[in-house]
Chains A and B, each alone.
Chain A
Amino acid sequence: MALLQISEPNQGDAPHQHRFSAGIDLGTTNSLVATVRSGMAETLPDAQGRHLLPSVVHYRRDGTVTVGAQAKSAAQGDPLNTLSSTKRFLGRGVNDIKRLGTQLPYHFVDGEKGMPKVRTVVGDLSPVEVSSEILKHLHQRLKESVGGEPEGVVITVPAYFDEPQRQATKDAALLAGLNVMRLLNEPTAAAIAYGLDQKSEGVIAVYDFGGGTFDISILRLNRGVFEVLATSGDSALGGDDIDRAIATWIMAQAGIDDDAGHHQMRRLMDDACRIKEELSDREESEFLIEKEDGTFWEGRLNRQQLHRIIDTIIRKTLVPCRRALNDAGIALNRVEDVVMVGGSTRMPRVRQLVGAFFQREPHVAIDPDRVVAIGAAMQADILVGNKPDSDMLLLDVIPLSLGLEMMGGLAEKIIPRNTTIPVARAQEFTTYKDGQTAMAIHVVQGERELVSDCRSLARFELRGIPAMAAGAARIRVTFQVDADGLLSVVAHEAVTGIESRIEVKPSYGLGDDEVARMIQESMAHAREDMDARNLREQNVEADRVVEALEAALAADGEQLLSPQERQAIDDAIAHLRQSQKGSDWSRVKEAISALNRSSTEFAARRMNASIQLALSGQNVDTFGE
């Protein structure tokens, strides 16, 4: 028996066609997967009820791969084949790794094209391959949890990730068999989880204080579109530093030497972490610390004391906050929402100091470890089409229309501007001349009617169209813009199935001003553009008519027309040609009609002649049957 989820009214899928989707938070330390079921986004636990999957992969000599907590526990025994924090190396070059890699025990080797690899017992592995193991594990958990293959996923990446890092994340997902609908910035995902995307506009600060890193992002929301204004942070500041500060305090109080052994230090750090967590719920914590000599020290710590120990660390996070606001050019009082992400923001003192800094009560209702995955799942649910249209977010729109060049230099719009993406639109085109076997496709962007006034994006050709009469071939051109704004154009010929395609990034190198200018011009020139379009259209039609007629005249003119009749047609052609020299499209149109009228008789005779030709030599009986 299939297990069903509640749909929105009238949005229920046909059976066997549920559109599952998920959000994946591929983290440096931990990863999560979340999905929307019965309208609610939740992270998915494993069979033991654990939601967080440690981002650790262990490769064994026999080729088996373990991921998560099990892999993490192998780190001590087999450090070289237990890979953690690989997110730091995703999409990085060998030189970047040399800078970062000194803190890690792995043996990096140079791969092809400057791509670094890690040497393990099972061979040299790229960070993409290692990350894909984590994604495969989450993919499996997801499939088991929703009872089917997800249609697509949204994966979150840090706002500061550059193109190669984003591409590497996508590659890892592809290797894991996932269809990535979109990469989403982590702070944006957190804002979405709190429903801040439902507002029309505003400035949002996302404060992400995790175990080992701190990130602050300043986002601006405008008509449903998030823009990252600035990011800042400290890649070596996290909850671990707070634990260490508490451990140091304990050592001083309990008289434990600074040169305590590794084992003792590890235990002290665990104790410190526990005390920290306890003080999030209580005013005071009492505890026993076992010393190396086996004796116990009984201690107590209250919130006031804790604050004195950790305030300097928390205040360190406020420096990047101030820097990010400066970079964004945003005054402190313009920040409307503060979103808390990362386990360390569970501490009441962190919330208090951050709230005081931004003069705002921060959003803390959603588990800060899961909030990014939850936001990603909500986004995925919308992208996969599980929301009624009225709830559809306007996340991204095409700033300018996308289209094709038609005969006569006219721009035919396929996707009009302000269409929300992702989107796919198709239109059928045909050949202009008899026997035409190739078609040049010119992709343009802009609002104007003439191609010369639009922006050229790409050109490609479709070759191998079978020779047919003009207008007989059917070429379907599909424009598809994915959620990342990447446009792909595919031309497909129906009879042979031949196909040709190209991909372009339409927004590349186009500033807001330029977009605004292009739209404004299209308004200002609306009338001229319409006339220009009509003139071009009529000229194209005139050329087509004259060309067809001249071919017919060359073939049968002598035979079927008297000299006077021939003269009349020639005059009409000359008149049409003359009208084309002007710029009045209505005169061209009239001349085309006149030519059509004067050649009607000729066309009728040709028709009769060809029927007679077909019938000649046939016995009447043939038709009687």
Chain B
Amino acid sequence: MAITVTENAAKRVETFLANRGKGVGLRLGVKTSGCSGMAYVIEFADEIGGEDTVFEDQGIKVIVDAKSLVYLDGTELDFAREGLNEGFKFNNPNAKDSCGCGESFNV
């Protein structure tokens, strides 16, 4: 079981956390909704719950709840730039297909 973070993503997360001034790490998860099954959740985490697993990669604490972990195991979080747009990207080996925009996926 593992979730990894690219160097690029780690740098950005660090900046955003510092700017926010609080938070223990980054919470990744999935929720049902969206046009193709599951949707990714990416949030600042202020606390770690009993159901959570914490992964540490590139100095970043990634927090995932037990339910989401099933869908996210093996995922690499990347920070990408596409033209002027930039943001985080889930490289998820579990995702079989995703909707056109990639915001939601199926396993």
Q: Is the CB of A47 within 8 A of B84?
A: yes
> Which candidate, B13-21, B51-59, B66-74, is the interface stretch facing chain A?
B13-21
Task: Tell me if B42 and A2 are in contact (CB < 8 A).
Answer: no
Interface assignment of B33: CB less than 8 Å from any CB of chain A: yes
Q: Are A3 and B43 in contact (CB under 8 A)?
A: no
- Indicate if the CB atoms of B35 and A6 lie closer than 8 Å: no
CB proximity to B under 8 Å, residues A12-64 = 12, 14-16, 37-40, 44-47
Question: Which B residue sits closest to A47, measured CB to CB?
Answer: B84
Chain B residues within an 8 Å CB radius of A46: 84
- Complex contact B84–A16 (CB within 8 A): no
**Contact for A38 among B12, B31, B83, CB less than 8 A:** B12
Q: Which residues of A contact B80 (CB under 8 A)?
A: 1, 3
Cross-chain contact A12 with B41 (CB below 8 angstroms): yes
Separation of A144 and B101 alpha carbons in the complex (Å) = 15
- B residues less than 8 Å from A309 (CB atoms): none
Contact with B along A487-513 (1 / 0, CB 8 A): 000000000000000000000000000
A1 in complex: contacting residue of B42, B45, B102, CB < 8 Å: B102
Tell me which of A3, A39, A141 contacts B86 (CB under 8 A).
A3
Is A95 an interface residue, CB under 8 A from the partner? no
A372 close to B (CB within 8 Å): no
A342-384 CB contact bits vs B (8 Å, 1 = yes)? 0000000000000000000000000000000000000000000
Q: Which residues of A lie under 8 Å from residue B26 when comparing CB positions?
A: 6
- Across the interface, B101 reaches (CB within 8 A) one of A2, A12, A47, namely A2
- For the complex, is A545 an interface residue (Cβ under 8 Å from B)? no
Q: Report the separation of the CA atoms of residues A347 and B50 in the bound assembly, to the nearest whole angstrom.
A: 53
Does A264 interact with chain B (Cβ within 8 Å)? no
Is the pair A9, B45 in contact by a Cβ cutoff of 8 Å? Answer: yes
A144-B87 Cα distance, complex, nearest whole Å: 12
CA–CA, A8 and B23, complex, Å: 10
**CB-based contact A3/B87 at 8 Å:** yes
Residue of A with least CB distance to B46: A9
- A2→B90 CA distance, assembly (Å): 9
The answer to whether residues A6 and B102 also contact, given A15-B39, A44-B84, A141-B84 and a CB cut-off of 8 A, is no
Q: How far is the CA of A86 from the CA of B84 in the complex (A)?
A: 28
Set of chain B residues within 8 Å of A146, measured between Cβ atoms: 85
Instruction: Report whether B44 and A5 are in contact in the complex, using a CB–CB cutoff of 8 Å.
Output: no
Chain A nearest CB: distance from B9 CB in Å? 10
Q: How far is the CA of A12 from the CA of B83 in the complex (A)?
A: 24
CB–CB B89/A14 < 8 A: no
Q: Are A14 and B44 in contact (CB under 8 A)?
A: no
How far, in Å, is A68 (CB) from chain B's closest CB? 14
- Asked whether B44 lies within 8 Å of A15 as measured between CB atoms, the reply is no
Which A residues are in CB contact (< 8 Å) with B93? Answer: none
The CA of A616 and the CA of B102, in the complex, are separated in Å by: 68
Interface size grouping (class) on chain A: 20 to 34
Known: A1-B102, A3-B80, A15-B104. A10 touches B43 (CB 8 A): yes
- Chain B residues contacting A14 (CB-CB under 8 Å) are 33-34, 39
Q: Confirm or deny: A147 has a beta carbon within 8 angstroms of a beta carbon on chain B.
A: yes
Tell me the minimal C-beta distance from B46 to chain A in angstroms. Answer: 6
**Contacts of B99 on A, CB cut-off 8 Å?**
15
User: In this complex, what residue of A is CB-closest to B33?
Assistant: A14
Chain B residues, Cβ within 8 Å of A15: 33-35, 39, 99, 101, 103-104
CA distance A552 to B39 in the complex (A): 62
Tell me if A11 is interfacial: C-beta within 8 Å of chain B. yes
Would A2 and B34 be within 8 Å (CB), given that A7-B43, A39-B19 are in contact?
A: no
Residues in B with CB closer than 8 Å to A45 are: 84
> Chain A at the B interface: mostly helix, strand, loop or mixed?
loop
Judge whether A9 and B16 touch: CB under 8 Å: no
Whether the Cβ atoms of A9 and B27 lie closer than 8 Å is yes
Q: Is the CB of B102 within 8 A of A2?
A: yes
Q: Would you call A440 an interface residue if the criterion is a C-beta within 8 Å of the partner chain's C-beta atoms?
A: no
Residues of the A chain whose Cβ atoms lie less than 8 Å from the Cβ of B40? 4
What is the bound-complex CA distance between A38 and B23, given in angstroms?
13
Residue of B16, B27, B89 near A4 (CB, 8 A) is B89
> A35 to nearest B CB, angstroms?
11
B13 CB, min distance to chain A CBs, angstroms:
7
Chain B min CB distance to A486 (Å) = 34
Residues of A contacting B33 in the complex (Cβ-Cβ under 8 angstroms): 14-15
A5 with B87: CB separation less than 8 A: yes
Q: Given A9, A12, A39, A144, which contacts B85 in the complex, CB threshold below 8 Å?
A: A144
- Chain B residue nearest in CB terms to A146: B85
Instruction: Evaluate contact between B20 and A39: CB separation under 8 angstroms.
Output: yes
B85 touches A16 (CB 8 A): no
Task: Check if A5 sits within 8 Å of B85, measured CB to CB.
Answer: no
Q: At the interface, yes or no: A145 with Cβ under 8 Å from chain B?
A: yes
**Is A3 touching B82 in the complex (CB atoms < 8 A)?**
yes
Q: Which of B27, B35, B41, B98 contacts A16 (CB 8 A)?
A: B35
What's the minimum C-beta distance from A49 to chain B, rounded to whole angstroms? Answer: 10
Interface contact A3-B35, CB-CB below 8 Å: no
Contact B41 A144, beta carbon cutoff 8 Å: no
Q: How far is the CB of B96 from chain A (nearest CB, A)?
A: 15
Question: Quick one: given A14-B34, A40-B15, are A6 and B88 in contact (CB under 8 Å)?
Answer: yes
Contacts of A44 in B (CB 8 A): 84
Asked if residues B45 and A3 are in contact (CB atoms below 8 Å), the reply is no
B19: A residues at CB distance < 8 A: 39-40
Interchain CB contact (< 8 A) of B84 among A8, A38, A144: A144
List 14 A-B pairs, Cβ < 8 Å: A1-B98, A2-B87, A3-B80, A3-B87, A3-B89, A4-B40, A6-B13, A6-B26, A6-B42, A6-B44, A9-B27, A15-B34, A40-B16, A144-B84
- What is the interface of chain B, defined by CB distance below 8 A to chain A? 12-13, 15-16, 19-20, 26-27, 31, 33-35, 39-46, 80, 82-90, 98-99, 101-104
9 new A-B pairs (CB below 8 Å) besides A9-B46, A12-B41?
A2-B87, A4-B42, A7-B42, A9-B27, A15-B104, A40-B15, A40-B16, A47-B83, A145-B85
